[in-house]
């Protein structure tokens, strides 16, 4: 495996930083775009990128906060981006498109690219899959894909109007104890996608809440995370094989 920090072309032609991990083998394979969570383009997210390379994919994570805080520590960059209003949806889509194009341009690419995101990135993964030419999407407990933000909370809008345009199979991984998204929001997502004939695989884990994949946080739940990783490997194995 090799890893590197590179520059890619993101939304609007902007040059942004990205973290890339690639298996050493030279066979053709799919790619995975990892969308980092709101706390940033951090060490834990880079570990996830490397895990996808270990699973046999070229994997990349664009630094969504590069424009606001180039070269800053991940936590400082996240704070800076947050103070400036966060990542606009359209810009996110453009950055994921740039990352996917980079993966498809690699000499090992089979042309198939998946996307995955955690927490806020889960919602962004679904958004990207509604608007971009991708091949598989994974939503790990993204809030407000469906559901209504609490009154008075200036939340990003939900994706209900976008869901009929979902262009990839979707794997959703959720915690039964999570409130955002809670079981009723997951059920709404399931119902909408079923009504539109979309390919949706969902797993909700008991004794797990939000962020159960996060190994460096108290929310980590080893059983749910281990099973979730197996589901992700199987899902991408099915949809990203070349």
Partner 1 sequence: MCTYETVCLCVDGSGKGPGGSWLRVTDATVYFDHPVHAMADHTLNIDFTDPAKGPAARIALELTAESARRLVAAIQEALDAVPAELTR
Binding site for partner 1 (CB under 8 A): 37-39, 42, 68-69, 72-73, 75-80, 82-83, 85-86, 119-120, 141, 143-144, 153-156, 178-181, 209-211, 217-219
Do the Cβ atoms of 109 and 58 come closer than 8 Å?
Answer: yes
Concerning whether 139 is annotated as a catalytic residue, the answer is no
Concerning whether 199 is annotated as a catalytic residue, the answer is no
CB-nearer residue toward partner 1: 42 or 104:
42
Distance in Å, CB of 5 to partner 1, minimum? 17
Q: Which of 131, 57, 140 is nearest to 94 (CA)?
A: 131
Distance in Å, CB of 60 to partner 1, minimum? 22
Angle of helix 89-104 relative to helix 120-131, nearest 10 degrees, comes to 70
CB-nearer residue toward partner 1: 89 or 227:
89
DSSP 72: -
DSSP 157: P
Q: What are 220's two structure tokens?
A: 């980590």
Concerning whether 119 is annotated as a catalytic residue, the answer is yes
Phi then psi for residue 180, to 5 deg, are -135, 90
Rg, the chain, Cα only: 17
Distance in Å, CB of 117 to partner 1, minimum? 11
CB-nearer residue toward partner 1: 85 or 197:
85
Q: Report, as residue numbers or ranges, the catalytic residues.
A: 119, 178, 210
């Amino acid at each position: 495996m090799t890893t590197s920090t590179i520059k890619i072309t993101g939304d609007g032609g902007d040059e942004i930083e990205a973290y890339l991990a690639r298996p050493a083998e030279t066979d053709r394979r799919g790619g995975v775009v990892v969308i980092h969570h709101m706390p940033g383009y951090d060490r834990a997210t880079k570990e996830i990128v490397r895990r996808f390379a270990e699973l046999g994919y070229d994997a990349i994570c664009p630094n969504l906060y590069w424009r606001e805080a180039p070269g800053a520590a991940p936590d400082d960059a996240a704070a800076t981006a947050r103070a400036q209003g966060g990542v606009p949806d359209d810009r996110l889509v453009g950055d994921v498109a740039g990352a996917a194009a980079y993966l498809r341009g690699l000499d090992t690419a089979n042309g198939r690219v998946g996307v995955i995101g955690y927490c806020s990135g889960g919602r962004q993964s679904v958004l990207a899959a509604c608007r971009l030419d991708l091949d598989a999407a994974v939503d790990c407990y993204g809030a407000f894909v469906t559901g209504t933000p609490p009154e008075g909370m200036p939340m990003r809008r939900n994706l209900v109007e976008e869901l009929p345009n979902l262009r990839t199979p979707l794997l959703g991984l959720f915690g039964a104890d999570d409130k955002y998204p809670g079981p009723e929001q997951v059920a709404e997502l399931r119902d909408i996608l079923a009504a539109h004939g979309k390919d949706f695989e969902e797993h909700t884990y008991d004794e797990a809440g939000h962020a159960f994949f996060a190994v460096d946080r108290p929310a980590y739940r080893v059983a749910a995370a281990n099973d979730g990783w197996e589901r992700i490997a199987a899902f991408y194995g099915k949809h990203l094989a070349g």
